Structure 1
């Protein structure tokens, strides 16, 4: 039997914060089975205690919610949100102060069969490092958007809210769409920023489109910074020879290096990439800054191991990014990748390498459907979406097709921002979306 919700209230300058902890089944279809703890933090402005709730669903997957403050504003859009809402920052299962996913993090009792010497008590704690790859994969299969929505419902009930509004960034938009598909009655509104996914099995076309977009972004970057192509080629030569080394001695291969292109999907990212590449390849600055710039690191293992699976709507992903990589890209290491998962991103990182076999199993897993088109068509919920015209990760044409299913959706298609527009715009994107959902602004 789950314990009662635990709520603790404290203060920062300009904010009242309420920490909420609830217990949730690891498998919501087995409510009497092992349990996770789910954490959320509610930020309330002075005098805003009666305002409705806005739930922020973080991008990723596998990243915790921002830690709120108003001096300075973090996230930058928070002051705008607090004028109309109390903001719920949910640490999605497996992240932050919710029961985290980690190789050495104690697992909930009974999560997997105990791996221990004979004579060890049956309640002994097991970690994922002790588990088999199949056990690791089965455990991680419970960390997709469908489970996150049901966790959020437990938080909503703990707060005594009949309904609330969602704000989903990137993967948080995938979770928002699942919410509309599965629990629309709990919602008074939903806002998407760069996160309306493609439905159904044809996900290879999404990855093919993102590859085309990254080719164009790579060429645009080299047109802006002509010397960077040769600098990138030199780094790729070192990587191919096993001589591109990070500050801790870790070796980076060509395909992992190519993932630097994820910087090009964000506002200001091209300049960041240039400033990185202008350093001498064997310098300590390059080696350390490269480590910080590469995506899919060990801090957030879900981001690497479940990255493609978060798209899967009734299909197996089977390393879609690798399979759809154009021959032109394979032949030219200066053509960069975005959020294109690749086996080397896991096998080359000492913190991620222990997940490699589980990642192979998850790539072959046929996942249950996340979205019900008929339920989406029936979702009587006001929806506003910022669709970024050149989004590197969630292509606009597929986002608009999915949005057409929603009966009360308004899409604001803009080329002013990239995928990180919610944060990069300060209050701008959220203010626009709130205006759309409240009917005070036109797209």
Structure 2
């Protein structure tokens, strides 16, 4: 069935594909993948090449475009864009506690093992052969999407004409512990910036933490709002406009009533919208595994946190927000993660994750690659990204302090244009 839509300046078409759950097994269970193809209205009848977009995450569906704007506007000048819902996300056989409820914990863990970058790229290659007559296409990866791009360059470079990466140039060799040791320092710096910038935020955060420590407070979802859960708001400190959003949220958290200080119901309603763990469980289940190659994460962020005890909350001590870290206690506090706790433990203990990067192939890479590295990125350590630039041939990079991790969302048209110019050896403006 051919399904098309007209958006503001865009024609969109839906695609569904049947792919193997396990490409190493034949026959294999099949899963369904969804991708939305978009093209500008003025170019809809032209035979343009494809650009496929790999979303950040892991565990988030591709953007649902509203209008011809941002990075999409620049891309649609010369491409048809394919917005791929990576397996397990969006409309691509989505993973959640309900979908996995018929499986045992060990079966859940085995099933989830097939949802890393390696199989995302196998999916992309299968789709490419169907849509492009086996011609190479252009790829763009944001955040975790950049991890996917590097695996693509390692495993199937023949499928790529050009590659672009924004905010997602990972280390090729460092393990999860290395990553989190650097990340905690980055998060600490973001905390310092936040509390220096909003001078009453320290008191607001500490008062709220103390209240949650002394009282049982429940969100609209029925979950108890704990201090640890409050600290997770720090993931937003690494985004453009994120610190402002966090500040305005905690600013209205506690209110004076005739009964004394209470938690504002508006705050409780808005709080859940700041965290995605209930709605996007892959992010919690597989996040640490994106760093694993023939080793286990063993709840890395949780263990490394002990090296930075200032992140452990104690009454009458300053509260620090955490960042993009996954902790085992999350599977006892978030309602939609609770049924997956045993599977999460099995995944954290898994030692035989396949290699993601072929260092020899990348050292001899011939595909033009352009990457934006954000020097202030809280999520991807700049020094590790710079290490990678020396290990991947034919890679050019733009190092800038102008943007946070989600720069492409804020100024995508300019960023993608700059990377295209960089890749093609044109003058940069």
User: Within 5 Å, which residues of 2 pair with 1:229-244?
Assistant: 229-241=202-214, 243-244=216-217
Q: Which residues of structure 1 form unaligned runs of 5+?
A: 1-5, 106-127
For structure 1, which segment, 24-33 or 165-174, has the greater mean C-alpha deviation from structure 2 after superposition? 24-33
User: Within 5 Å, which residues of 2 pair with 1:118-197?
Assistant: 128-161=100-133, 162-197=135-170
What is residue 329 of structure 1 aligned with on the other side? 311
Shift in Å, 1:98: 1.1
TM, length-normalised to structure 2: 0.92
Kept after mapping to 1: 8 A contact 2:175/2:291: no
* Residue 391 in structure 1 maps to residue 377 in structure 2: yes
User: Within 5 Å, which residues of 2 pair with 1:34-433?
Assistant: 34-45=29-40, 46-47=42-43, 49-70=46-67, 73=69, 76-105=70-99, 128-161=100-133, 162-241=135-214, 243-281=216-254, 282-293=263-274, 295-325=275-305, 326-331=308-313, 334-366=319-351, 367-433=353-419
Shift in Å, 1:378: 1.9
SS at match of 1:425: helix
Kept after mapping to 2: 8 A contact 1:264/1:270: yes
Q: Which of the pair has the greater relative contact order for Cα pairs under 8 Å at 6+ separation?
A: 2
Distance (Å, rounded) in 2 between the aligned partners of 1:337 and 1:159 = 42
- Counterparts in 2 of 1:329 and 1:135: CA distance versus 1, 3 Å: same
Distance (Å, rounded) in 2 between the aligned partners of 1:257 and 1:387 = 29
- Counterparts in 2 of 1:393 and 1:14: CA distance versus 1, 3 Å: same
SS at match of 1:20: strand
Shift in Å, 1:57: 0.3
- Counterparts in 2 of 1:186 and 1:7: CA distance versus 1, 3 Å: farther
Kept after mapping to 2: 8 A contact 1:54/1:166: yes
Distance (Å, rounded) in 1 between the aligned partners of 2:345 and 2:211 = 28
- Counterparts in 2 of 1:225 and 1:61: CA distance versus 1, 3 Å: same
Distance (Å, rounded) in 2 between the aligned partners of 1:393 and 1:87 = 26
Kept after mapping to 2: 8 A contact 1:22/1:154: no
Q: Deviations over 1:62-119 (max 9, x none)?
A: 1111122326x3xx221111002111100100011111112323xxxxxxxxxxxxxx
Q: Deviations over 1:134-177 (max 9, x none)?
A: 11111101000000000011111111241011110001111111
Kept after mapping to 2: 8 A contact 1:253/1:344: no
- Counterparts in 2 of 1:426 and 1:190: CA distance versus 1, 3 Å: closer
C-alpha root-mean-square deviation of aligned residues, in Å?
A: 1.7
TM, length-normalised to structure 1: 0.89
SS at match of 2:303: helix
Distance (Å, rounded) in 2 between the aligned partners of 1:254 and 1:70 = 39
- Counterparts in 2 of 1:248 and 1:69: CA distance versus 1, 3 Å: closer
Distance (Å, rounded) in 2 between the aligned partners of 1:220 and 1:393 = 16
Distance (Å, rounded) in 1 between the aligned partners of 2:107 and 2:174 = 26
Shift in Å, 1:10: 4.4
Shift in Å, 1:13: 4.2
Q: Deviations over 1:261-283 (max 9, x none)?
A: 11110011111111011113301
How many aligned positions are there? Answer: 412
Distance (Å, rounded) in 2 between the aligned partners of 1:381 and 1:8 = 34
Shift in Å, 1:7: 5.7
